Structures are given as C-alpha cells and as structure tokens.
C-alpha cells in the first residue's frame, strides 16, 4: 500500500520533469519561421513591426508572452477586433509562437 503510494509519487515527479522540459521547449517559437510568416502583418503593422499608421500598434520589441496572449485572445474572442480576428482565425499555436518570437526578437533603439 505504502510502496505503491511512493511509486505513484515518483511517477508524478518524473512526469512533471518530462512535461516541464517539454513545456520549455514548446514555449519558444522559431524566429526565422516567424519572420517569413510576418509578411502577412506588414501592411498594417509595418516593416519590422513598426507601424507608420497610428491605427496600428507597433509590435517590434514587444514581450513575447504578451504577443502570444494577444494573438490567442483575438483567436478565442477575448479580444475583439475585426482585422485581427480574420488574421488569427485558423492560425496554429505554433505559428502564433513563431510570430511572437520574431517580433519580440526585433531590437528597437530608444531615444528621447
């Protein structure tokens, strides 16, 4: 009885180690793939994610996790915007991660 309980605990520890490393791996998108896919975003968000039109937010240098959340929120309807809804509809979570990795990787120079 006691032994099987420990086996169960050990199994849980091993599983969480496996899932943990997997989660870390899955969390980071591919910058190069994201760059290619970003061609669909340029006409609104600008080249390199810096928009010339005030209607559209800049994406360059934004936090990766924020970008992932924003795209998921448009997809699941938590955020509602006509343009973005059609952009993300049918977008896979790996594409979302790739785009987030790309835009967050762009370095912007701040000056005052």
Name the minimum Å distance from CB 59 to ligand HEC. Answer: 6
What distance in Å separates the CA atoms of residue 90 and residue 112, rounded to the nearest whole number? Answer: 40
Q: Is 68 in the site for ligand HEC (CB under 6 A)?
A: no
CB neighbourhood size of 92 (10 A): 8
Residue 72: which of 88, 58, 57 has the closest Cα? 88
Binder among 15, 26, 57, 85 for ligand HEC (CB under 6 A): 57
Residue 79, classified by CB atoms within 10 Å of its CB into exposed (0-12), middle (13-18) or buried (19+), is middle
Q: Is 101 in the site for ligand HEC (CB under 6 A)?
A: no
What distance in Å separates the CA atoms of residue 86 and residue 77, rounded to the nearest whole number? Answer: 11
- Residue least distant from ligand HEC (Cβ): 41
Q: Angle at CA 64, nearest 5°, toward 15 and 81?
A: 110
Q: Is 40 in the site for ligand HEC (CB under 6 A)?
A: yes
Of 16 and 81, CB closest to ligand HEC: 81
Q: Is 56 in the site for ligand HEC (CB under 6 A)?
A: yes
Name the minimum Å distance from CB 7 to ligand HEC. Answer: 45
Residues that bind ligand HEC (CB under 6 A): 40-41, 43-45, 55-57, 59, 67, 70-71, 79, 81, 83-84, 87, 99
């Amino acid at each position: 009885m006691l032994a099987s309980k420990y086996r169960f605990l050990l199994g849980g520890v091993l599983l969480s180690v496996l899932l943990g490393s997997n989660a870390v791996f899955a969390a980071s998108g591919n910058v190069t793939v994201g760059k290619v896919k970003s061609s669909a975003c340029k006409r609104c968000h600008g080249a390199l994610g810096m928009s010339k039109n005030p209607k559209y937010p800049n994406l360059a240098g934004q936090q990766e996790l924020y970008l992932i959340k924003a795209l998921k929120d448009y997809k699941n309807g938590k955020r509602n915007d006509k343009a973005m809804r059609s952009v993300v509809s049918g977008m896979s979570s790996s594409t979302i991660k790739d785009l987030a990795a790309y835009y967050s990787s762009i370095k912007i120079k701040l000056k005052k």
